[in-house]
């Protein structure tokens, strides 16, 4: 028997979300029902709403959440009612070639759920899609157990929800994918939620110099709080690549594009050390848009690569939660606004304008 839940629904491209009451199906075998505690707003949600990512409409956005398990589907034995969990963007089926390889966090189920027609949500008999089959902008949702990360109940939901995506992507990009080395130099385009966490990851890895690059000068203070040693507004620089080369001598050892722009992706590569530099595309580039580089920028040994959720598997997400609880890094300066579900469109506008660093929807009850 289905239950009712309030949710934020995007009914059309570039339209404000509407708060409506939806029917929520019972969990199928292998699924659980969650009562959401908090959900962060991520640019990926915005990209799905504005067409940068292909997405079925109407849909319930949201993928950066923490919830409490309130019902179990048949066959779910690894989790119990009452436990607090993160529904992680990347599942682990444990059976596909990706999962059994031990070489990647990718899973075939990730691709299957990316823009799935399956959804537990409906309105007047019409299916309402759930972003990534998560849909955490709802007071209750149903997700697959193979994507759940068990977390301690004392983990504050308004902070921990950010670890579900932005924090994990940033920390993982620096610590897992790039494997930033102690004493190295790092440049990061974008001081948003992901960029700040990439900076944090570089700091935790022991980087000696971390250069934050952002067009919003208000981000300098928070970037330095996250570990940046330098801050550059690229609008003040004639040639950002040349400037970084002059600052570092031979270029940075690692560079990250956490914005998702083709020009920045290229500059990220060009500003790295020609022999061993590692450039990483972290931010989401619009589907169908190409990035390019001169082959001569690769011949001497540079690496140009990407990062899917920082290369993190579920165990890594739990490790990042434990690191946060241990005080290895803080999210006090990252979570800038806490709002109710009814205020979600305001949160979206603040994300667009850069007024917020990370807004979090906190659910009542």
Query: Annotated catalytic residue: which of 63, 84, 159, 261?
Result: 63
What is the C-alpha to C-alpha distance for residues 160 and 65, in angstroms, rounded to an integer?
8
Q: What is the DSSP string of 265-285?
A: HHHHHHTB-TTT-EEEE-SPP
Task: Establish whether the linkage from the previous residue to 58 is cis, with ω within 30° of 0.
Answer: yes
Q: Under a CB-based contact definition with an 8 Å cutoff, are residues 359 and 41 in contact?
A: yes
What is the C-alpha to C-alpha distance for residues 303 and 309, in angstroms, rounded to an integer?
19
Give yes or no: 165 in active site.
Answer: yes
Query: Annotated catalytic residue: which of 39, 43, 44, 261?
Result: 44
- Residues 208-217: contacts with CB within 8 Å, 24+ apart? 208/182, 208/183, 208/184, 209/184, 209/185, 209/248, 209/252, 210/185, 210/186, 211/185, 211/186, 211/187, 211/244, 211/247, 211/252, 212/188, 213/187, 213/188, 213/189, 213/240, 214/189, 214/190, 216/191, 216/354
**Interacting residues of 283 by C-beta distance below 8 A, sequence separation 6+:** 43, 189, 190, 194, 257, 258, 259, 260, 261, 264
Nearest to 223 by CA among 249, 243, 193: 193
Q: Cα 219 to chain center, whole Å?
A: 19
Give yes or no: 47 in active site.
Answer: yes
Query: Annotated catalytic residue: which of 39, 42, 184, 281?
Result: 42
Query: Annotated catalytic residue: which of 47, 84, 159, 261?
Result: 47
Query: Annotated catalytic residue: which of 99, 165, 258, 281?
Result: 165
Give the catalytic positions in this structure: 42, 44, 47, 63, 165
């Amino acid at each position: 028997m289905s239950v009712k839940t309030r949710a934020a629904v995007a009914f059309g491209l570039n339209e404000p979300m509407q708060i409506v009451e939806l029917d929520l199906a019972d969990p199928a075998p292998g699924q659980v029902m969650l009562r959401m505690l908090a959900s962060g707003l991520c640019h990926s949600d915005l990209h799905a709403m504005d067409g940068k990512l292909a997405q079925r409409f109407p849909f319930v956005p949201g993928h950066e959440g923490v919830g409490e398990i309130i019902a179990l589907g048949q066959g779910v034995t690894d989790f119990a009612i009452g436990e607090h969990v993160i529904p992680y963007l990347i599942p682990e089926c444990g059976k596909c070639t990706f999962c059994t390889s031990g070489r990647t966090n990718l899973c075939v189920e990730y691709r299957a759920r990316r823009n799935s027609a399956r959804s537990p949500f409906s309105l007047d008999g019409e299916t309402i899609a759930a972003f990534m089959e998560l849909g955490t902008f709802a007071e209750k949702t149903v997700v697959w157990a193979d994507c759940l990360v068990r977390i301690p109940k004392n983990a504050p939901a308004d902070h921990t929800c950010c670890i579900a995506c932005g924090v994990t992507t940033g920390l993982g990009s620096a610590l897992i994918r790039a494997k930033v080395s102690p004493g190295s130099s790092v440049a990061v385009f974008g001081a948003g939620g992901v960029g700040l966490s990439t900076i944090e990851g570089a700091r935790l890895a022991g980087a000696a110099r971390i250069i934050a690059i952002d067009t919003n000068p208000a981000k300098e203070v928070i970037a330095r709080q996250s570990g940046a040693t330098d801050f550059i507004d690229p609008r003040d620089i004639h040639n950002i690549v040349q400037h970084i080369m002059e600052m570092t001598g031979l270029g940075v050892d690692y560079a990250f594009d956490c914005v998702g722009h083709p020009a920045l992706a290229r500059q990220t590569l060009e500003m790295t050390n020609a022999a061993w530099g590692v450039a990483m595309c972290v931010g989401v580039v619009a589907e169908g848009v190409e990035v390019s580089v001169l082959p001569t920028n690769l011949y001497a040994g540079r690496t140009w690569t990407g990062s899917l959720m920082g290369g993190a598997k579920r165990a890594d997400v739990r490790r990042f939660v434990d690191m946060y609880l241990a005080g290895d890094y803080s999210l006090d300066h990252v979570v800038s606004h806490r709002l109710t579900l009814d205020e979600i469109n305001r949160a979206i506008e603040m994300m667009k304008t850069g007024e917020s660093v990370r807004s979090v929807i906190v659910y009542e009850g």
